[in-house]
C-alpha cells in the first residue's frame, strides 16, 4: 500500500525566511500528490496538487512544490513565510485510497 513520510514533526522559521517542508512517498504507479494545510481548529484546505505535466506546481498563498520521481519526493516551498502561515501541513498520495503523512507543524517567529 502507498504511504507518505513527513520527516519533520515541527519546524520553526522566522517571518520573512524561506520554508521547505519535506515529503517522501511510496506508490507503485504514477502518484497523484497533494499538500493540504490545517489552521488551528479548522478543516483542511488544498494548497496544491500534482498528477501530471510540469513537475513544479504552483499553489495558493504563494506555495509551490516540486515532484522528483527519482527521489520519491514532493517537497513544499515558500520563498518568504508570513505569520499567517503558521499551521499544520499534510502531504498526501493518491488517487485511490488516499494516504496522508503525519503532518508538519509550522511555527513562525516574529
> Where does this chain bind another protein (CB under 8 A)?
1, 6, 9, 32, 34, 36, 43-44, 46, 49, 51, 90, 92, 94-103
> In the numeric block, which cell numbers belong to residue 49?
496538487
Question: Taking the complex as a whole, how short is the minimal distance between the CB of residue 103 and another protein, in angstroms?
Answer: 5
User: Minimum distance between the CB of residue 62 and another protein, rounded to whole angstroms?
Assistant: 19
Q: What are phi and psi of 70, to 5 degrees?
A: -65, -25
For residues 13 and 109, the answer to whether their CB atoms sit within 8 Å is: yes
Q: Nearest distance from residue 13's CB to another protein, in Å?
A: 20
> Cis ω on the peptide bond leading into residue 15 (within 30° of 0)?
no
Amino acid at each position: 500500500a502507498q504511504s507518505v513520510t513527513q520527516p519533520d514533526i515541527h519546524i520553526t522559521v522566522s517571518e520573512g525566511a524561506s520554508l521547505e517542508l519535506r515529503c517522501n512517498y511510496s506508490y507503485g504507479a504514477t502518484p497523484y500528490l497533494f499538500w493540504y494545510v490545517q489552521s488551528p481548529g479548522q478543516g483542511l484546505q488544498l494548497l496544491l496538487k500534482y498528477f501530471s505535466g510540469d513537475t513544479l506546481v504552483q499553489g495558493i498563498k504563494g506555495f509551490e512544490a516540486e515532484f522528483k520521481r527519482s527521489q520519491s519526493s514532493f517537497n513544499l516551498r515558500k520563498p518568504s513565510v508570513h505569520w499567517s502561515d503558521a499551521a499544520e501541513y499534510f502531504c498526501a498520495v493518491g488517487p485511490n485510497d488516499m494516504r496522508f503523512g503525519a503532518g508538519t507543524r509550522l511555527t513562525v517567529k516574529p
